[in-house]
């Protein structure tokens, strides 16, 4: 099966016998990202907020116990945020995740 995945471009050989994502999977990821309508629909509001605050603006969605970064507009002042579109972070380790936890309907703050 591994040979087939390598041949189809889903995997590639890395250093010291490791396997890495191949170009076919990377291409699928970018295709999915570009087909996502959420950043397109939210773009005007995100850009207005970025212009008003001059801070980094993230568009994220809750995905289980993580936040998934869907779009990012870098700020023009302050430190650079290391977040990247398509990455996940635990909700309890990000500001946006904590804000989502605080807004949950159960009235709790989501922290244990």
Cα-based distances in Å from 76 to 3, 50, 51, 79, 82:
47, 9, 9, 9, 14
What is the pLDDT, as a whole number, of residue 109?
47
For 71-88, the pLDDT digits (tens) are 999 998 877 888 898 899
What is the pLDDT, as a whole number, of residue 35?
85
Per-residue confidence band for 107, with pLDDT thresholds at 50, 70 and 90: low
């Amino acid at each position: 099966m591994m040979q087939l995945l390598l041949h189809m471009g889903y995997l590639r050989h890395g250093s010291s016998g490791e396997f890495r994502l191949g170009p076919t999977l990377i291409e699928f990821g970018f295709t999915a990202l570009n087909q996502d309508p959420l950043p397109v629909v939210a773009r005007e509001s995100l850009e207005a907020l970025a212009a008003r605050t001059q801070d980094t603006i993230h568009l994220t969605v809750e995905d289980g116990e993580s936040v998934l970064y869907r779009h990012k507009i870098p700020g023009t002042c302050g430190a650079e945020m290391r977040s990247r579109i398509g990455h996940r972070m635990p909700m309890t380790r990000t500001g946006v995740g904590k804000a989502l936890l605080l807004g949950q309907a159960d009235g709790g703050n989501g922290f244990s």
